[in-house]
Structure 1
Amino acid sequence: MSDVPADPHASEATLADEALDDAVARVERELGRLFARIRVGWREAAATVHPDLQPLGYQVLTSIVSGHATTAGAIIERLQTDKSAVSRQVRQLTELGLVESVRDPDDRRARRLVATPLATERVTAARAAYESRLSARLRRWSAEDLDHVADLLDELGR
């Protein structure tokens, strides 16, 4: 046995590391739960738009409705998914009367995807139901807490 006393700072550092590890694990668990809830929300929203629509189809459709992505390439990049999956979803959305493919007025060789009035109406209804549930939960928090969460999420996403 050694006559040298244990370094008290070493045990403090170990405790701090363990606390940090526990906190990181908790955030990962909570993000997993949040992502699962989001997936359920997409599934419910997709069913609100059309019973045969898949969650990815709903994401494709909302990208088109919002105008954030109106070409297959833009949708692929926005959703970080593969071309065949987007092609299947666009085909289904077209068959369901929710999307039309039209010539791009700026480039007659290219095609743009446009949401039909039916799609806009149904996506608006699906979003309203989801947003009212989310808004009700978020409104329990202060504006300061919401700003702090938004800042943290922004930092996490970088």
Structure 2
Amino acid sequence: MAETDAREARTEAVRALEAEFGELITQFRRVIVENAHRVSPGMLPGAYKVFTTIVRRESVTISALAESLMSDKGQISRTVRELEALGLVVRTPDPTDGRSSLLSPTPEGLERLAAARHPRESALADSLENWRLADIERLTHLLHALTSGTTP
């Protein structure tokens, strides 16, 4: 009986976590839409994700970008062309593979992203203002363990 109670309690805890993640995802989607529009009015969330991935990776090929985002290489190529036209990213020849190009953010792209992110970064800092540093670090550690599939 105790084993059944423990299993049910675990199931309920996982369901509660799933519900909280659902709320977090909804809020995150809203932030992505807002940030995308601040970077460039009319920018779609998918293009914003491609752009921020390029920024995070600093220098990446289209193939590696498509693999990282688990997306079609053709769609990524079209999105990158849009980002180039907006002056957010630049292509340079890949010194290790002459058939390939490296994508990097432009200084203007980095400035626009920083400006777009600023309002929400302040909101997150405000939300966490009364949290203990140890709790923030623990949450970060636990989320990393969850996303990487490791046990904390």
Give TM class, smaller chain. 0.7 to 0.9
**Deviation of the 1:14 alpha carbon:** 3.1
Match of 1:29 in 2: 19
% identity of equivalent residues? 39
CA distance in 2, matches of 1:99, 1:113: 7
CA distance in 2, matches of 1:96, 1:144: 41
| 1:83-115, Cα deviation, whole Å (9 max, x unpaired) | 232122112112222222221234333211132
Match of 2:63 in 1: 73
CA distance in 1, matches of 2:65, 2:92: 16
Q: Does 2:30 align with 1:40? A: yes
Q: Residue type matched to 2:30 in 1?
A: V
Whether the aligned pair in 1 keeps the contact of 2:58 and 2:105 (CA below 8 Å) is: no
After superposition, residues 1-158 of structure 1 pair within 5 angstroms as 10=1, 12-157=2-147, 158=149
Q: How many equivalent residue pairs? A: 148
TM-score, normalised by the number of residues in structure 1: 0.82
SS in 2 for 1:114: strand
Q: After the TM superposition, which segments of 4 or more aligned residues of structure 1 sit over 4 Å from their partners?
A: none
Higher mean displacement: 61-70 or 28-37: 61-70
| 1:106-132, Cα deviation, whole Å (9 max, x unpaired) | 433321113222211101111222211
Identify unmatched segments of 5+ residues in structure 2. none
RMSD between superposed Cα atoms in Å: 1.8
Q: Residue type matched to 2:122 in 1?
A: S
Larger Rg: 1
